[in-house]
Amino acid sequence: MHLRLPNAALIALLEAIPAQPIDTANPLTTLQPLISGTLTFAQALEPEIQAALDACAAIAYRQNRPGRILCDRLHSVRPIPAPACVVGW
């Protein structure tokens, strides 16, 4: 929860949207030997490792998730004023 952000409630709602389904194996499983240092560099340069790293980046940065761009923009938008502060409301 982004407690300090002016649009925290809306951002939290957008981030609660279920993750995009992906049709690859969990990349964490593939990368575990690399992270633990048990792979060799020859193995670490295999295409499967690069694919797992790319999948992690796509998930972490949520490039294909709906609302990502909106979330980014909301971090810098001024808070929605309370109705009492808006003339005419």
Partner 1 sequence: MRPTTQRASHPRAGVRRRVVRHSDTDAITRLVESEQLAAIHYGRQAAALIRQRFPDFYAAHVADLRTTPPHLLGVVQAFFSLAQQVIQLDHSYALTIDPANPLRVLHPALSDDDALSYLEEFHGWGLDEVCPEVYGIPTEQEELFGEGRNLLVAVLWSMADRTAWSATMFDMEEVIDYWVDQVAISPEQVAQLDRLPQLERTTDMEALCTALSAQPFHLPDGRPIDLGQVVRYVFGRTGNWFADLSCDELAEMSGSGIDWCSDDLIAIAADQTAARGWFEHYHALNALVTAEPTVLSAVVAAVQQAAAPQLTATPAGPPLVVDA
The residues of the shown chain that bind partner 1, judged by CB under 8 A, are 18-19, 21-23, 25-28, 31, 34-35, 37-42, 44-45, 49, 53, 56-57, 59-61
Nearer to partner 1, 20 or 80 (CB): 20
| Residue 40: CB minimum distance to partner 1, A | 5
| Residue 73: CB minimum distance to partner 1, A | 20
Q: Is 34 helix (H, G, I), strand (E, B) or coil?
A: helix
User: Are the C-beta atoms of 78 and 6 separated by less than 8 Å?
Assistant: yes
Of 8, 26, 21, whose CA–CA distance to 79 is shortest?
8
| Residue 28: CB minimum distance to partner 1, A | 6
- Sign of the C-alpha dihedral, residues 44, 50, 56, 57? positive
User: Are the C-beta atoms of 30 and 49 separated by less than 8 Å?
Assistant: yes
Nearer to partner 1, 42 or 86 (CB): 42
